[in-house]
Amino acid sequence: MQARDLIGRTGAAAAATGHFDGLFVAGSFGRGTADEWSDVDLVGLAPPERHEAIAGWWRGWLEAQEHLIYFKVLPRGGTLINAVLHSWLRVDLHLAPAAQFGRRAQDGVRALHDPGGIHATLPPSLPPHRPDPKRVEEMIWEFIRILGLTPVTLGRGEHVVMVTGTGLLRDLLSQLMQEELPLPDRGGMLHLGKLLPRDDMALLESLPYPGPEREALIEAQLALARVFFPRARQLAARLGVVWPEEFETVSRAHLARAIGREPEALWPDR
């Protein structure tokens, strides 16, 4: 089944149940940026006491459209229902009270069933995203903490675990890059190349992606640190985030001893 075909049928089907105060398509289809790989993100407005009945109806209705191979109900900000059809079309339905819907904008959702005219009450668009100082601070502390654990994995010879740690450092760098973006809605996690500027994507692609080999892992982590720290310092200064000088200094010396190098050779102080 094609995503647009499913979307076209959903509004009338939801309206006929009487369970919904509104149903909207969000995500890339709501923004008008979908491609052939996009999933379907739906937002259903209904009070919590209706969620169980909607979940049961939704499973049966989807199965009637195409055989389901995955269906999971999760309590996330209301109720989130993840489904995958036999054709591997991914469909997410997020159920929430109408009061939570006001945080969206007209250019990010499209009405499929809107008897109360809720879509017209939304702002035309959301303001640009501003970096969150608390989130940036958490990224900085976590990056240093993971680097500080490297001597443990090296000492134990846990190079497979160190591969995971290196991936976490790379993820934090990617998250820092995304935090700088002014986009109010960054969408899902499977289209990073559409979000980041070309130079940032080229930088991420140029960094090493080693396997479980000691020296390669050390060099990969240092390469990530040499990119992350200057960029994070600059953003922290702009946001008024206090830099964890002692934590970074002690962790740098701790790592330097473990790999037999001078602390100042690992990454720049400023």
pLDDT per position as a tens digit, 81-118: 999 999 999 999 999 988 888 788 999 999 999 999 99
| Tens-place pLDDT, residues 159-170 | 999 999 999 999
Determine how β-strand 40-45 pairs with β-strand 68-74: unpaired
Q: How far apart, in Å, are the Cα atoms of 173 and each of 104, 131, 137, 156, 180?
A: 28, 14, 13, 26, 11
Q: What does the alpha-carbon distance between residue 165 and residue 16 come to, in Å, rounded to a whole number?
A: 50
Give ∠ CA 124-120-185 in degrees, rounded to 5: 40
Higher pLDDT, 133 or 102: 133
Question: Closest Cα partner for 17 from 75, 58, 59, 62?
Answer: 58
Q: Sorting pLDDT into bands at 50, 70 and 90, what band is 182?
A: confident
Instruction: Enter the tokens of residue 57.
Output: 């109806």
CA distance 25 to 127: 20
Q: How far is C-alpha 264 from the geometric centre of its chain's CA atoms?
A: 34
Task: Give 42's pLDDT tier (boundaries 50, 70, 90).
Answer: very high
Query: Does the domain spanning 3-121 belong to CATH 3.30.460.10?
Result: yes
Task: Please report the pLDDT score of residue 183 as a whole number.
Answer: 78
Distance CA(23)–CA(58), nearest Å, equals 13
Q: What is the DSSP letter of 253?
A: H
Q: What is the pLDDT of residue 266?
A: 95
